[in-house]
Amino acid sequence: MDLTLIPNGVQRCPLKKFVPWMVLWIALITWGVVSAFLCFFKGLNQTNMNHYFAFGLWIVFDLSVIALGAGAFFTGFLTHIIGEVFIYPFRDNLKAVVNAAVVIGFICYSSAIAMLGVDIGQPLRGWFIFWHANVHSMLTEVSFCITAYLGVLTIEYLPLVLSNRKLKEIPEFDIFGNNLHHIIALFAAVGTFLSFFHQGSLGGMFGVLFGRPFAFREGFLVWPWTFFLFIHSSIAAGPSFTLLCVWIAQKVTGKELINRDVFNLLAKISGWLLATYIVLKIVDTIAWAYGVVPRAGMSFMDFYQGPYGIWLIIAEIGIFGIIPAIILITPRFRERDHLLIIGALMNVIGIVINRFVFSVQTLSIPVMPFDKFMSYFPSWQEWGIAIGAIGYGILLFSLSYRYLPLFPQEAEMSPVQVLGKVVTDSGIIKRS
């Protein structure tokens, strides 16, 4: 049964090896499910959040995975829109990775929405956001867009699922999948539109908090600068995260899945976006430090106290911002495997720090002069849900890799070998 589901022309590990691999991730998911059950049954007192830390690990996780999942829309945008119309090498190269990017995006967004479902105090009222929508709230915009975009990702994922060897045998599925595939550029365009807005609104959520000088930013019309910076940082980090996931998949499977040139292209795109983002981020930080901060009667160092010290800004902009940007934009650096991966990893870490800073550090800083500085550490239930989401992601990616033609170049780059000889699609054995 298992063998009949595996795509033609590629080799997968035996089921007895794959099952223990899945058990590991199912164990993590179980931890998450138990934690979610406790939160639903007993309430959010199961977390370490409090009146000061209204947002905690889950919001950091949500903001981070949504930023990292931007690889899906951005790769789709570059492949199906920019690649088809303007820059043909994008289409030709990124096609190798666009399926994987969609799966990663789907995992990121579905886990983020599931987590938000636990995070709100009244999960059964989640739909009120759509029913009683407040058009002035950035969070309303985020909720609408991420829900709609998860729908788009599902539509983008569907042709891939329907291209499974066994499902393809059903003519209706085959025709439906093919038809969807033909209009995928349309969904790539819709996904790009939605993503630009919710990535921005996630930044806007914090930028509009004029009662919190650490997060507050001026901006353009109703959009604070964080709106644009969040879009920019997500498209800088998204391709790096896709690159990293594919590289890990290569290491775990021991196979070459995509051409090295595709890695280079992803790194180059990510690097240049990160470099321009970091320049704008530095400008934004300086403008904030000389504008918002003194106007609120505070000094720059008031915001960096206790465990959330000045090291955070050095780490975010310097170590995990400037350094990966240099690595990724320099051809001779990104052509070395270890530097490429270090650069992509540092880029991802930098964006996670940025999301952490905006959500948790913002809340830790006392605004009233007689209030006190607070710090926060998540409870095991909070960790459980976050780690459960990671388990879910790895499980779904593994299943997708095993049973779906995730990497179009795989059959060519890592052909099936029997006793050292290559087996082609038609079953003919050639010398390797």
Partner 1 sequence: MKKEENRKGNRYGMVIDLDKCTGCGLCTVACASENNISVLYDESDKTRNIAWLQIYTITNGKDFPDTEVVYIPRPCMQCDNPPCVSVCPATATRKDPNTGIISQIYTRCVGCRYCMAACPYHARSFNWFDPSFPEGMDRYLSPEVSPRMRGVVEKCTFCHHRLMRAKSKAYAEGGRRDLKEDEYIPACAEACPTQAITFGDLNNPEHKVSRLIKSPHAFRLLERLGTEPKVYYLSAKNWVRRRADNYLTGEFK
Write down the least CB distance from residue 117 to partner 1, Å: 11
Write down the least CB distance from residue 287 to partner 1, Å: 18
Task: Using alpha carbons, select from 110, 115, 128 the residue that is nearest to residue 55.
Answer: 115
Closer by beta carbon to partner 1, 253 or else 359: 359
208 interacts with partner 1 by CB under 8 A: yes
- Would you state the structure tokens that stand for residue 238, as one six-digit string? 């998204």
Q: Which of 15, 19, 23, 120 binds partner 1 (CB under 8 A)?
A: 120
CA distance 33 to 79: 37
Q: Which of 370, 428, 430, 431 binds partner 1 (CB under 8 A)?
A: 370
Q: Which of 140, 147, 379, 398 binds partner 1 (CB under 8 A)?
A: 140
134 interacts with partner 1 by CB under 8 A: yes
Query: Does residue 287 sit in helix, strand or coil?
Result: helix
HSE (side-chain half, CA atoms, 13 Å) at 152 = 24
What is each CA distance from 212 to 1, 184, 207, 276, 364, in whole angstroms? 58, 42, 9, 27, 10
Q: With both helix axes pointing from N to C terminus, report the angle between 15-42 and 88-119 in degrees, rounded to the nearest 10.
A: 40
Q: Which of 1, 3, 17, 136 binds partner 1 (CB under 8 A)?
A: 136
Buried b (16+ CB within 10 A) or exposed e, 376-412: bebbebbebbbbbbbbbbbbbbbebbbbbbbbebbbe
Which of the residues 232 through 261 are near partner 1 (CB under 8 A)? none
Number of residues that bind partner 1 (CB under 8 A): 49
Using CB under 8 A as the criterion, what x/- string covers residues 182-201 for binding partner 1? Answer: --------------------
Using CB under 8 A as the criterion, what x/- string covers residues 389-418 for binding partner 1? Answer: ------------------------------
Closer by beta carbon to partner 1, 259 or else 305: 305
Closer by beta carbon to partner 1, 49 or else 262: 49
Which of the residues 213 through 232 are near partner 1 (CB under 8 A)? 213
Which of the residues 25 through 84 are near partner 1 (CB under 8 A)? 43-45, 49-52, 54-55
Closer by beta carbon to partner 1, 136 or else 332: 136
Using CB under 8 A as the criterion, what x/- string covers residues 371-390 for binding partner 1? Answer: x--x----------------
Which span sits near partner 1 by CB under 8 A: 256-264, 348-356, 363-371, 417-425? Answer: 363-371
121 interacts with partner 1 by CB under 8 A: yes
The DSSP-derived string for 227-267 is HHHHHHHHHHHHHHHHHHHHHHHHHHHTS--S-HHHHHHHH
Closer by beta carbon to partner 1, 85 or else 139: 139
Could you give phi then psi for residue 313, rounded to 5 degrees?
A: -70, -35
Q: With both helix axes pointing from N to C terminus, report the angle between 260-290 and 88-119 in degrees, rounded to the nearest 10.
A: 60
E-only strand ranges, 253-385: none
User: Sign (positive/negative) of CA torsion 154, 156, 159, 164?
Assistant: negative
345 interacts with partner 1 by CB under 8 A: no
Length in residues, the chain: 432
Q: Site residues (CB under 8 A) for partner 1?
A: 43-45, 49-52, 54-55, 119-122, 125-126, 128-129, 131-134, 136-140, 143, 205, 208-213, 294-299, 302, 362-363, 367-371, 374
